[in-house]
Amino acid sequence: MPVTPAPTTVAAHPRDRWRLRYRRNLFLTDLAALVWVVYGTQLIWFGTGNVAVAANKDGRITDLSYWIFSAILIVAWMWALSFVDSRSDRVIGTGSQEYVRIIDSSFRVFGAVAILAFLTQIDVARGYLLISLPAGIAVLIFTRWLWRQWLIVQRSQGKYSANVLLVGSLTSVTQLAREFARTPSAGYRVVGACVPNGKIADVIPGTTIPVMGHVGDIGRALSVTGADTVAVTSADELPADKVKQISWSLEAGRQHLVLAPSIIDIAGPRLHTRPVAGLPLIHVETPRFSRGQVFLKRTVDLVASVTGVILLSPVLAFLAIAVRLSSTGPVFFRQTRVGYHGNEFTMIKFRSMVVNAEDLLHDLAAQQRDSGNEVLFKMKNDPRVTPIGRVMRKFSLDELPQLFNVIGGSMSLVGPRPPLPSEVAQYADHVHRRFLAKPGITGLWQVSGRSSLSWEESVRLDLSYVENWTLLGDFVILGKTARAALAPGDTAA
């Protein structure tokens, strides 16, 4: 049955106005940030005088006041931020794309300014530009981060989110619904589902999501639920060309189609969409680190860890003395762990437990029945932990000596959790993929729940990190780790 395409231009639907409001708020704060930075830099560099940008060799170009030049720079910067869709609802609220687009557009603007100044022989003060660029990027990212925290709070209350209608098999719909419920900050709120042989008034198992009918009832389901996004979770049980018909029937500019592949935790540079014979095939590259990536990560590890040891040497000395005086036994705790490519190494930590902690482990492990983790041993209020050890563990201070592991090359600042050999013996085959990267002092596992995570969640986060590594992602994890260490929650152990 033919489907009439939706019109190409539509008025904003009341449920979509939050996108316009949020985009407008970002525009205003971006403008305020750039005015403050650019004109602030001008006043710092030149004072309040009417200094001019000089044209050295081209007589056709008259001298231009820096007051006007700064205004032109701000307009160009704002245009660049809009040109790369840095305020799009597809990148706000989660992930690093929003920040990447800010950095990319900013460097493009200043690169264009530098090229034009060279070609036209216009003498622009280098210090003025060199201060404006990093300061502008920093302030823009900071204001966007503040807005993101506000948006996360709103989304946790079910606001400022896309209303999603799930379409697919019951199993795939249930899985995606649980993932969306687990991460409300992503901005997807499921309002209904259409499944093969679905009956109205049923609910998705384990949720309160109503079934709006079978896959042929999508049009009616969209109207009833007010959904603005259709997420196809699987196409195996859909009629031929059904996905294409769904995309044609959606209201252009307001309703969106999302295809959710059955593979999860794979993103970033490993995913490529390549059209082949008119088919949008998704290619998933095998995870690997190029020589350049290995060199870059090792360089950052070495510079940051050496700097950290130097700056934290008074803290390291104080903790060593505190451990030594508070209980009998050595200052450091050394333990065999499994690292890169499955090779064993000795991990160093400040001793936070009694000397015979390993001997007591067997009896305590027998008491662990309801932690939700079948491989990792976790226990709140572990009786083996010393008083000073409890404080160090809460703020992750006991892990500071691992900086020496990073310097030695057996660990990285960010990476998968370093497991014990006894844990590795229980691994399923796919879990060994975590050894494709060096273990880290911190990682996704530490900033996403630490001791509250189940075994499946721990593995999923480690594999997600290994398979989607980026240097920017490492910096994000380090920032979250610093915040968690300064303000530890209930998951600190």
Question: What's the rounded Cα separation, in Å, for the pair 365 and 374?
Answer: 10
Segments of 100-161 assigned E as strands: 122-123
* Domains of the chain by start residue, with CATH: 14-156 (no CATH), 162-262 (3.40.50.720), 291-486 (no CATH)
Are the CB atoms for 399 and 349 separated by under 8 Å? yes
- In angstroms, the CA 58 to CA 61 distance is 6
Question: Around Cβ 354, how many Cβ atoms within 10 Å?
Answer: 17
The answer to whether 351 and 331 have CB atoms below 8 angstroms apart is yes
Q: Which long-range contacts (CB under 8 A, 24 or more apart) does 378-384 make?
A: 378/451, 378/493, 380/451, 380/493, 382/353, 382/493, 384/353, 384/354, 384/357, 384/360
| Other residues' Cβ atoms within 10 Å of the Cβ of residue 403 | 22
Whole-angstrom distance, CA of residue 377 vs CA of residue 92: 37
Q: What angle do CA 398, 400, 403 make, to 5 degrees?
A: 145
CA of 219: how far to CAs of 166, 201, 212, in Å?
13, 17, 10
Cα separation, 233 vs 240, whole angstroms: 15
Q: What is the pLDDT at residue 250?
A: 76
Instruction: Tell me if 211 sits within 8 A of 198, measured CB to CB.
Output: yes
Give the C-alpha separation, 463 to 38, whole Å.
43
What pTM did the predictor assign?
0.62
Along the chain (493 residues), what's the average pLDDT of each consecutive run of 10 residues? Answer: 39 63 94 94 81 57 73 94 88 83 93 85 82 93 94 87 86 83 84 82 81 81 85 73 75 75 58 59 63 88 95 94 88 92 93 73 55 53 79 88 95 92 84 87 80 73 81 87 74 52
The helix (run of H) or strand (run of E) holding residue 194 is strand 188-194
pLDDT computed for residue 24 by the predictor: 93
What does the pLDDT read at residue 360? 58
First to last CA, the chain: 60
| Distance between CA atoms of residues 66 and 73, nearest Å | 10
Q: What pLDDT was estimated at residue 252?
A: 67
Phi-psi region of 305 (alpha: psi -120 to 50; beta: other; left: phi over 0): alpha
Asked if 93 contacts 155 with a C-beta cutoff of 8 angstroms, the reply is yes
- Between the alpha carbon of residue 196 and those of residues 107, 169, 249, 415, the distances in Å are 50, 6, 19, 41
Inter-residue contact 266 to 460 (CB < 8 Å):
no
H-helix or E-strand spanning residue 331: none
| Dist. CA 262–CA 260, nearest whole Å | 7
Closest CA to 34 of 88, 105, 84: 105
Cα separation, 222 vs 229, whole angstroms: 9
Residue with tokens 């662990």: 368
- What is the distance of C-alpha 79 from the center of its chain? 26
Which residues are CB-neighbours of 373 under 8 A, at least 6 positions away? 453, 454, 455, 458
DSSP structure class, residue 353: B
How confident is the model at residue 9, as a pLDDT?
38
Helix (H, G, I), strand (E, B) or coil at 48: coil
Distance, in Å, from the CA atom of 101 to the CA atom of 86, rounded to the nearest integer, reads 6
